[in-house]
Amino acid sequence: MAKRVLVKGNEAICMGALAAGCKFYFGYPITPQNDIPEYMSAHMPEVGGTFIQAESEVASINMLLGAAATGARAMTSSSSPGISLKQEGISYLCGSEVPGVVVNMSRSGPGLGGIHPSQGDYFQSTRGGGHGDYRVLVLAPSTAQENYDLTMLAFDLADKYRNPVMILGDALIGNIKEPVELKPYRRKIKPKDWALTGAHRRPRRIVKSLFLADGELTDHNWRLYKKYQRMAKETRFENYRADDAKLVLVAFGSVGRILKTSVDMLREKGLAVGLLRPITVYPFPHQAVQEAAERTGHLMVVELNTGQMVEDVRLAVEGRAPVDFYGRPPGSIPTPNELAKEVAKVWRKRGLQ
Amino acid sequence: MYFDVIFAGFGGQGVMLMGNMLSVAGMHAGKQITYMPVYGVEMRGGTANCTVVVSDRPVGSPVVHEPVCAVVMNRPSAEKFAPRVLKKGMVLVNASLVDPKYVKARTKKVIYVPCLELATEVGNPRLGNMIMLGALCQASGVLDVEQVVKALPKALDQRYHKMIPINTEALRRGGRFVAEL
């Protein structure tokens, strides 16, 4: 068995990144993700990599663009207000098809908001966030182990699709400490035949997002569109006691794991509830949600916001089943007992037995 | 096996270290662990608490509504967390700082530990948290005091390793205090 260490969620992200061969990190401090630049500043030099605390979030995302354009594995991280500042760069990464990993240990907003956990950045993460018609793969871990595993996966997916991949956590996922099994990274990193490595004895390569010739941008956008369609096969989710459930809950990240305990509590009282936890929120697990709707006819979404992912669930369900929602704005973390009560209310309202 | 505990007190009382130490020791004892810190923006003087869940199964919620156990190191923590402890649970109170009249709990099992006095007896009044952690292990049985002692080199940064002997003594003293009650 691989080595087990007790680490913070934020540190687990760094360990996954370094294991996956990340050689460049650019960041700017903001709570609740400061453990990431702190860890990277200490450990990046040990692997011969480069750590830079940039002068701003805008600078750090553009440094990522530059480093990744040379073919290196690179990462940046921030939290909600900082991620807003990075949106222009994320759009440029998508437009010029440069891979990179962007971590958002989100906090509460809008504006400067606060440092509480929140899932208020769901729309921004899954709908693009910057300008233009683009998509970003978004992974939503719920444990320190998943932080480690999914960060390694994020680098692979970024390279595979030549697209930025976002890791969407929150203050809870970043700050909890849990044992993490440091599984070694064994996949081979393929050479990049598009990267800017100096055009010595080979034709020149161009990485850009500006296309002015007649029809060029149309073709480029169609090609990107087809790529985003292909990403659908990366869909991942966890099915927690949902197979024989009469009411299926849908929740991601921190709330997803809190709900697992609520599901156990309700099961003990004889309420057949289960949970679908999207691990990729883009691509969203439409099919799994649709099947659950057809099988049970009863869905409920729980989020740490006033209603964002519930829209994706309703899109997936296409009216096949009513979708209830319980949301909570930032300021407190719901406990499993509180959520169990809300689920039980829906159970009774729908006359389930 | 399932156990959860909220450690609470002023920043600077070593509340987070107690949680960390229990977590590291629990991990090395082969348990599943989740440690969740909650603190304000202050370094010292503010209130701080952390929740630790120790289980044989993967941990779902890191957030606990009604804990099996609360360790309260000051009065605001006693007032906030003691009433939330399960009826079949237990409360450990830092008797050096908290007057019993502020402790209202549903459980009958309330243990008063004179942390400051016992730590002074061991030789360093700042070790009140280690006294308390030893007392918690002894009272709850979540881990053996010696399992925590064994984890000290892994839980403490290298630069504090010269403090391991006195921390060991404090953990054992806390455990003995409860055993002799």
The answer to whether A335 contacts B24, with C-beta atoms less than 8 Å apart, is: no
Q: What is the pLDDT of residues A303-343, one digit of tens each?
A: 999 999 999 999 999 999 999 999 999 988 999 999 999 99
The answer to whether A6 contacts B59, with C-beta atoms less than 8 Å apart, is: no
What CATH number belongs to B2-179? 3.40.920.10
- Domain shared by A227 and A263, yes or no: no
Q: What is the pLDDT of residues B73-119, one digit of tens each?
A: 999 999 999 999 999 999 999 999 999 999 999 999 999 999 999 99
HEC string of A62-94 equals HHHHHHHHCCCCEEEEECHHHHHHCHHHHHHHH
Please tell me what DSSP assigns to residue A155.
Answer: H
- For residue A342, give the CATH number of its domain: 3.40.50.920
Q: What is the pLDDT along chain A (353 residues), one digit of tens a residue?
A: 678 999 999 999 999 999 999 999 999 999 999 999 999 999 999 999 999 999 999 999 999 999 999 999 999 999 999 999 999 999 999 999 999 999 999 999 999 999 889 999 999 999 989 999 999 999 999 999 999 999 999 999 999 999 999 999 999 999 999 999 999 999 999 999 999 999 999 999 999 999 999 999 999 999 999 999 999 999 999 999 999 999 999 999 999 999 999 999 999 999 999 999 999 999 999 999 999 999 999 999 999 999 999 999 999 999 999 999 999 999 889 999 999 999 999 999 999 99
Rounded to whole angstroms, how far apart are CA atoms A122 and A349? Answer: 28
Question: Can you read off the two tokens belonging to residue B118?
Answer: 């016992």
- For residue A36, give the CATH number of its domain: 3.40.50.970
Q: Which of B56, B63, B84 to mutate to test the interface with A (most CBs of A within 10 A)?
A: B63
> pLDDT value at position B43?
57
Question: Can you read off the two tokens belonging to residue A219?
Answer: 């073709």
Name the average pLDDT for chain B. Answer: 95
- Domain shared by A191 and A283, yes or no: no
Domain ranges of chain B: 2-179
Query: Which chain B residue has the Cα nearest residue A257?
Result: B60
Residues of A with CB under 8 A from a CB of B: 4, 6, 115, 172, 175-179, 257-262, 264, 333-338
Question: Can you read off the two tokens belonging to residue B163?
Answer: 């403090």
Indicate the residue among A189, A210, A233 that finishes a domain. Answer: A233
- Domain shared by A218 and A296, yes or no: no
Q: What is the pLDDT of residues A174-200, one digit of tens each?
A: 999 999 999 999 999 999 999 999 999
Q: How many CB pairs under 8 A join A and B?
A: 60
- Domain shared by A74 and A220, yes or no: yes
- Domain shared by A61 and A191, yes or no: yes
Question: Can you read off the two tokens belonging to residue A91?
Answer: 């759009």
- Residue A61 domain boundaries: 4-233
> pLDDT value at position A342?
98
User: B35 to chain A: which residues are within 8 Å by CB?
Assistant: 6, 176-178
Please tell me what DSSP assigns to residue B45.
Answer: S
Indicate the residue among A233, A262, A285 that finishes a domain. Answer: A233
Give the residues of chain B that fall short of pLDDT 50. Answer: none
ipTM of the complex: 0.92
Q: How many domains does chain A have?
A: 2
- Domain shared by A32 and A112, yes or no: yes
Q: Roughly what angle, to the nearest 10 degrees, separates helices A336-349 and A253-268? A: 60
> pLDDT value at position A182?
97
Q: From residue A281, how far is each of A232, A309, B13 by CA, in Å?
A: 11, 8, 41
Q: Which of A1, A5, A6 to mutate to test the interface with B (most CBs of B within 10 A)?
A: A6
A331, A346, A318, A270: which is closest to A119 by C-alpha? A331
The answer to whether A178 contacts B59, with C-beta atoms less than 8 Å apart, is: yes
- Domain shared by A317 and A288, yes or no: yes
Q: From residue B3, how far is each of A115, B49, B143, B176 by CA, in Å?
A: 28, 17, 10, 22
pTM of the shown model: 0.95
